[in-house]
């Protein structure tokens, strides 16, 4: 619904002629000013009520005590207001009677992105130009200053549920250093036959039996039509959905209301785990190892212009224990390692059965083979290559030299073996050194053979 269901009461600064008095603080505002008329010298009507003539005489000062607008007036204002929005949202260059732009300019790229969007998009309006242009529309529709003063028009706009004046931080909306009002709208396709009084599902277009209804000047000047979104209060603030055992948990909610700064609210919950409790508007506690995950329901109660409002929200709260998570991860990793080893062994056996090792693949050795097996395979590969190559005179000489060297090595090994029987473990190191020396000589001979062939 529009703002017709809400009391049209405007906040205002203190009077310069006396202290502000009322009926119980900023959350409760009535039409009576009581002691102010006697102490401040204002008001002459019975019971402390100010007449319309007295209010019109005091144009230099504003008061927060205004009589609510009549339902018929609100209905008529809503009808004009949404026609006015249809027009200015379709014209980004709209200006008031003084020539001031109504729209707050945005970046060109951002404007292109917003124009291409099919979802609700924000419109930022300059407050003074927007108010002046809307007031001019009211006058053209027969609601002159005598019938509806400008301050009542401002009251109507201040409390309108389709206008956002405050952001989620409780501060007034600003853009490029200027205070603005936000209105969200999205494009809709016009229905056949024209007209825009009965097409909106949000209730932001109304039928009225007023003598000025036939005025089409304030209808949409383009085929585009708009659907507007009503702002509703909600519980704001970052929701903390995770709690760790032994670590303090703090959740600080607040109330967001589009027409007022962050109001003071009382937060409660119908049920809480033993380790959680509300304290000064914050949900606090330290979970223990035995605590489990649960759902938290938050209820907020606050006053809005003398009306008691209640909001509710539910979110899941997950409790995690780092110690248990570490043990679980370790056990999972151990099982994964065992499974991987078993898979590797199975793959090795299967590969050996399907693909027995070939001499030409001697360079691709399994890492688990011993060093002795690797050396033996290299020697066999070297001998195999030498047998395949045609032997020249030089090759015969080299092979004879190689045979002599091998015989000498065998003799040395035989002698070393006889001595090793009495020398003990020290001969193992000597045999290893002789084997390395023989491999180096073999490599040198092979290189010399290749060089001679090349020459």
pLDDT at 6: 39
- Nearest-CA neighbor of 414 among 402, 431, 429? 431
Q: Are 205 and 259 found together in one domain?
A: no
Q: Are 265 and 148 found together in one domain?
A: no
Q: Which two tokens stand for residue 231?
A: 């702002």
CATH number at residue 288: 2.60.40.10
- pLDDT of 330 strictly over 70: no
**Mind listing the pLDDT tens digit for each residue in 358-394?**
555 445 545 544 566 666 677 667 666 665 555 555 4
**Mind listing the pLDDT tens digit for each residue in 82-99?**
999 999 988 888 999 999
Domain count, the chain: 3
pLDDT at 105: 81
Q: Are 286 and 346 found together in one domain?
A: no
Residue with tokens 């130009």: 129
Q: Are 214 and 310 found together in one domain?
A: no
Q: Are 88 and 127 found together in one domain?
A: yes
**Please, which pLDDT band fits residue 245 given cuts at 50, 70 and 90?**
very high
Tell me whether residue 177 is in a domain: yes
- What's the CA gap between 95 and 97, in Å, rounded? 7
pLDDT at 199: 41
Q: Which of 204, 228, 252 is the last residue of a domain?
A: 228
- pLDDT of 183 strictly over 80: yes
Tell me whether residue 443 is in a domain: no
> What is the share, in percent, of the chain residues with pLDDT greater than 90?
23
Tell me whether residue 123 is in a domain: yes
Q: Are 250 and 343 found together in one domain?
A: no
Q: Which of 308, 337, 353 is the last residue of a domain?
A: 353
Which range marks the domain in which residue 283 is found?
234-320
HEC readout, 192-221: CCCCCCCCCCCCCCCCCCCCCCCCCCCCCC
pLDDT (mean) for 12-33: 36
Tell me whether residue 249 is in a domain: yes
Q: Are 195 and 140 found together in one domain?
A: yes
For residue 289, the tally of other CB atoms under 10 A from its CB is 10
- Nearest-CA neighbor of 50 among 159, 158, 151? 151
pLDDT at 261: 84
Q: Are 207 and 331 found together in one domain?
A: no
* Strands (E) located in 282-433: 282-285, 294-304, 307-320
Q: Are 205 and 333 found together in one domain?
A: no
pLDDT at 167: 79
pLDDT (mean) for 208-220: 36
pLDDT (mean) for 23-41: 36
Q: Are 97 and 117 found together in one domain?
A: yes
Q: Are 105 and 223 found together in one domain?
A: yes
Mean pLDDT of the chain: 70
Q: Which two tokens stand for residue 78?
A: 């809503």
Q: Are 267 and 213 found together in one domain?
A: no
């Amino acid at each position: 619904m529009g703002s017709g269901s809400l009391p049209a009461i405007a906040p205002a600064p203190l009077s310069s002629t006396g202290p502000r008095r009322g009926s119980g603080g900023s959350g409760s505002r009535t039409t009576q000013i009581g002691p102010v008329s006697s102490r401040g010298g204002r008001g002459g009507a019975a019971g402390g009520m100010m007449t319309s003539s007295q209010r019109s005489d005091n144009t230099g000062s504003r008061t927060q005590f205004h009589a609510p607008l009549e339902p018929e007036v609100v209905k008529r204002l809503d009808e004009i207001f949404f026609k006015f929005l249809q027009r200015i949202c379709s014209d980004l260059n709209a200006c008031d009677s003084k020539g001031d732009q109504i729209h707050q300019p945005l970046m060109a790229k951002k404007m292109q992105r917003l124009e291409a969007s099919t979802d609700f998009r924000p419109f930022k309006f300059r407050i003074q130009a927007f108010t002046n242009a809307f007031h001019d529309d009211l006058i053209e529709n027969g609601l002159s200053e005598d019938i509806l003063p400008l301050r009542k028009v401002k009251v109507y706009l201040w409390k309108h549920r389709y206008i956002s004046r405050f952001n989620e931080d409780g501060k007034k909306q600003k853009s490029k250093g200027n205070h603005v009002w936000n209105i969200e709208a999205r494009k809709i396709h016009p229905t056949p036959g024209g007209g825009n009084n009965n097409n909106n599902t949000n209730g932001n277009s109304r039928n009225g039996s007023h003598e000025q209804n036939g005025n089409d000047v304030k209808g949409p000047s383009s085929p585009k039509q708009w659907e507007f979104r009503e702002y509703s209060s909600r519980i704001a603030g970052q929701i903390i959905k995770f709690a760790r055992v032994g670590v303090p948990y703090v959740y600080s909610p607040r109330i967001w209301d589009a027409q007022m700064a962050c109001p003071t609210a009382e937060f409660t919950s119908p049920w809480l785990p033993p380790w959680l409790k509300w304290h000064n508007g914050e949900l606090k506690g330290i979970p223990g190892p035995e605590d489990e995950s649960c759902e938290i329901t938050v209820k907020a109660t606050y006053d809005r212009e003398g009306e008691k409002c209640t909001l509710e929200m539910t979110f899941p709260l997950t409790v995690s224990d780092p110690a248990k998570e570490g043990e679980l991860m370790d056990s999972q990793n151990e099982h994964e390692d065992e499974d991987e080893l078993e898979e590797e062994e199975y793959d090795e056996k299967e590969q050996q059965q399907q693909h027995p090792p070939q001499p030409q693949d001697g360079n691709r050795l399994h890492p688990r083979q011993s060093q002795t097996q690797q050396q033996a395979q290299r020697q066999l590969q070297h001998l195999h290559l030498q047998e395949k190559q045609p032997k020249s005179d030089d090759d015969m000489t080299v092979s004879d030299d190689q045979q002599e060297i091998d015989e000498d090595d065998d003799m040395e090994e035989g002698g070393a073996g006889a001595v090793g029987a009495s020398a003990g473990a020290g001969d193992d190191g000597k045999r290893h050194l002789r084997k390395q020396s023989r491999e180096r000589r073999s490599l040198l001979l092979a290189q010399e053979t290749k060089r001679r062939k090349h020459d």
